[in-house]
Structure 1
Amino acid sequence: MTDARLDLEGLGLDGGAHLLLRRALGTLAPGARLAVYGRAPALAVHLGAWCRAEGHRMESPAPGCNEPPVGVVVRGNRDEGRWLGAHRAGAPDDIVRRPPARWGLAPRGALVEAGGPEPHFDLDDRDLLWADVAPRLYSHAAARQWDPATAVPWDDPFQLPDEVEAAVVQVMTYLTENEQAALIVPARFLGRIHPHFREVVQLLAVQVADEARHMEIFTRRALLRGTEMGTSSVGGRASLFALVGETEFALATFLLSVLGEGSFVNLLAFLERYAPDPVTRRVAWLAMQDERRHVLFGVAHLEQHARAEPKLRDRLRSAMERRHDALRDTAGLNADVFDALVMLAGGGWSPRQIGSGYARVRQLEYDMDQGRRRRLERLGFPADEAQALSALHTRNFM
């Protein structure tokens, strides 16, 4: 006697019948018996093999049946066969401290079949990687994506004196160079983060996309009225490569997001305020919104990391000092960039305008320093130490 009946008609297991079998068995308790009927020529052979693979048992029809089925499937436990030793990869909303390597690429909460590859992700410790704000920041970032082709008023009419346009080109060249470094840093860590922390991976992936867009709009603005970019200094490149070379996630995040991109938020606000044309103003504003989000994640992540690792601040301090010592003999900020900022902030070449622009750039440097101090203090550095450390930050801003 069977508990249920399934007629597959002419459908074979090589044509999708396994879906109907699983559906029918899913309504039965372990040990229940399902009579399977069908006309597919190889159904009996395939059914036996399928049962063995799925952890069920197949019986021959009882003799003397008026209408014998192809076979009777006795439902097994889900822990049999293929799913023996299977386990859940946590719960969908539970961020575990140390996800095991055997979870691999399985999403949180998935039922993971035993066996298979166990890839190594060296960034696999929640306390050294996670930030509670990450899911919310990712949602914000995904909703705020913009298209460089339509978000900037490229066709707005404006005309600038040649020297003003040259200053804009120089600043845009400098921004593009720095954003290339800002793209490389998070990109290098994406493949090292355990997929269990998917919101962090997603957020960094969006950050990489942000930087790619910034590079596009800065380059496009630089070439909007001409065919040549500005200059790239040895000191500027040395500063950026000292940043790109950092291999530890926490230290790279600190140097890039907390210090460098934090200072860049000030710079972009400065450029938006003193932009001589609507395209430059819009480009600066768009990039500034993204950079603020990058800084917010960097600070939030390091705050949580510092609570889990009390000695983190010592390592952050050492990273700043190492970078400062490595750049001690470099010129720092490209002089062409400094002069271009002075000219843009002053608005002209009269002594009064240049003096005003120079004072505004010095105020920018002061604002950058104050912002760095605030972020350092938020990470737990005493005010006097935050002041001293901020002074060590590269003169290249990033």
Structure 2
Amino acid sequence: MNPRVDLGDLGFDNGAHLLVQRALNSVPPGCVVEIVGRAPALAVDLPVWCRQFGHRATRHDDSWTIEPGARDRWAGAERAGTPGPDGIVASAPAHWGLAARGALVERGATPYSPFDIRDRDLVWADIAPSLYAHAAAEQWDPATAVHWAAPIDIHPDVDRAVVQVMTYLVENEQAALVVPAKLLARIHPHFREVLQLLAVQAADEARHMEVFTRRALLTGLPMGTSTVGGRQSLATLLDEADFSMASFLLSVLGEGSFLNLLEFLDVHAPDPVTRDVTRLARRDEARHVAFGVAHLRYQADRDSRVLSQLRGAVERRYSALVDTAGLNADVFDSLVLLAAGSWEPAAIAAGYRAVLTLQDEMDQGRQRRLVHLGFPADEAADISALHTRNFM
């Protein structure tokens, strides 16, 4: 017996199609569904809806029979992987577009996609899902996480040194925001955990820009200096189009060195606000470095050629910057004064040694990360030595 659906007064303008489609989905091939109803526009709307979806509608005196069409709009449809990370495909087809991972993707869309990075191995790291969950849970509010009202009772020259360093940090964090923002717009959303992680990373950098700027302006001094060499160094990061090479230069080498710098500023901070902002930023930067290292290790484990490509990226950047001055001298001198804490000759000597130690720690940290990626120790030392003198 064919199923019968009584729509009552329900019309296609307020949901009747749901009941009709439900009945059609339940019948086996060769069966029909009988439809009755009193909605005034049913005689017009029902056949139009049936034609739209390939069903055949036949009118009787006080009812309709509908034969499910042979044309199924979902014929040939495919699943866009499965929802969890284990369901990621090796290469996401362009016609999937913005379909959610695991969704049934209807055929027929124009095979256009603005996402040119569609291969899993170009962006993935197994740590990405858990790292994103950690990042989302660790977000902090600049208005409440920093004790902005804490007293700042320091020598004006030391305060100017803080302002100069903060100016330098803002400049670098702006580059660190733009790089992931540019990259995430190119990655196929099938790899959503990477998109989410890069989006949070960009949000982290925006927050760092805010707190570093606010600390710089906190005592009424003007911002510090920005050198041509420093800006040229950062521009090379923005010019790197390859996802993995950009991640390597920014996160593994640049932000990795910044972890040491932020720890140095935490240790030598002359006031509570400076200590707060650098400590909070370092916590975020550690995640960025962790993803960069994990992604590059994921790639290197699958393709031994990756290591030579990474070295090539460093050498190209070194060649582009070989004639630049490197680190802003005002920044270097400010770091010395912050570590010294005063203008006493012995203190300045100690501060100078502390900055040299900082640079050595940056170098050792880069070498450890490079060895972790698979470089021999001697090659890691050579590559680290080529890293920009601007730190980032």
Normalising by structure 2, we get a TM-score of 0.95
What is the DSSP-based 3-state SS (H/G/I as helix, E as strand, rest coil) of the residue aligned with 2:33? Answer: strand
Identity rate, percent: 62
Structure-1 separation of matches of 2:155 and 2:110: 62
Aligned to 1:52: 51
Paired amino acid for 1:34: V
Structure-1 separation of matches of 2:214 and 2:329: 23
What is the DSSP-based 3-state SS (H/G/I as helix, E as strand, rest coil) of the residue aligned with 1:83? Answer: coil
Deviations 1:262-306 (A, max 9, x none): 000111111111111111111001110111000010011111111
What is the DSSP-based 3-state SS (H/G/I as helix, E as strand, rest coil) of the residue aligned with 1:232? Answer: coil
Aligned to 1:258: 252
Aligned to 1:18: 17
Cα contact 1:184–1:244 (8 A) shared by 2: yes
Cα contact 1:31–1:76 (8 A) shared by 2: no
Aligned to 1:321: 315
**Alpha-carbon deviation of 1:157?**
2.2
Q: Is 1:177 the counterpart of 2:171 in the alignment?
A: yes
1:357-372 equivalences under 5 Å are 357-372=351-366
Query: Which ranges of structure 2 fall in alignment gaps of 5 or more residues?
Result: none
Query: Which ranges of structure 1 fall in alignment gaps of 5 or more residues?
Result: none
Aligned to 1:151: 145
**Alpha-carbon deviation of 1:30?**
4.1
Q: How many residues align?
A: 389
Deviations 1:231-277 (A, max 9, x none): 11111111111221111111111100000000001111111111111
Structure-1 separation of matches of 2:356 and 2:44: 83
Paired amino acid for 2:226: S
Q: Is 1:385 the counterpart of 2:390 in the alignment?
A: no
What is the DSSP-based 3-state SS (H/G/I as helix, E as strand, rest coil) of the residue aligned with 1:6? Answer: strand
Structure-2 separation of matches of 1:244 and 1:233: 17
Aligned to 2:76: 85
Structure-2 separation of matches of 1:392 and 1:267: 18
1:300-315 equivalences under 5 Å are 300-315=294-309
Aligned to 1:161: 155
Normalising by structure 1, we get a TM-score of 0.94
Structure-2 separation of matches of 1:56 and 1:146: 55
1:108-123 equivalences under 5 Å are 108-120=101-113, 121-123=115-117
**Alpha-carbon deviation of 1:370?**
0.6
Structure-2 separation of matches of 1:289 and 1:117: 43
Cα contact 2:160–2:221 (8 A) shared by 1: no
**Alpha-carbon deviation of 1:27?**
4.1
Structure-2 separation of matches of 1:106 and 1:360: 53
Please identify, of 21-30 and 303-312, the stretch whose mean Cα deviation from structure 2 is larger. 21-30
**Alpha-carbon deviation of 1:57?**
3.1
Aligned to 2:241: 247
Please identify, of 380-389 and 36-45, the stretch whose mean Cα deviation from structure 2 is larger. 36-45
What is the DSSP-based 3-state SS (H/G/I as helix, E as strand, rest coil) of the residue aligned with 2:73? Answer: helix
Greater than 4 Å deviation, 4+ residue runs: none
What is the DSSP-based 3-state SS (H/G/I as helix, E as strand, rest coil) of the residue aligned with 1:82? Answer: coil
What is the DSSP-based 3-state SS (H/G/I as helix, E as strand, rest coil) of the residue aligned with 1:305? Answer: helix
Paired amino acid for 2:205: E
Structure-2 separation of matches of 1:273 and 1:117: 57
Deviations 1:342-386 (A, max 9, x none): 111111111111111111111111110010000000111100010
Structure-1 separation of matches of 2:335 and 2:35: 80
What RMSD, in angstroms, separates the aligned Cα atoms of the two structures? 1.6
Structure-2 separation of matches of 1:269 and 1:23: 62
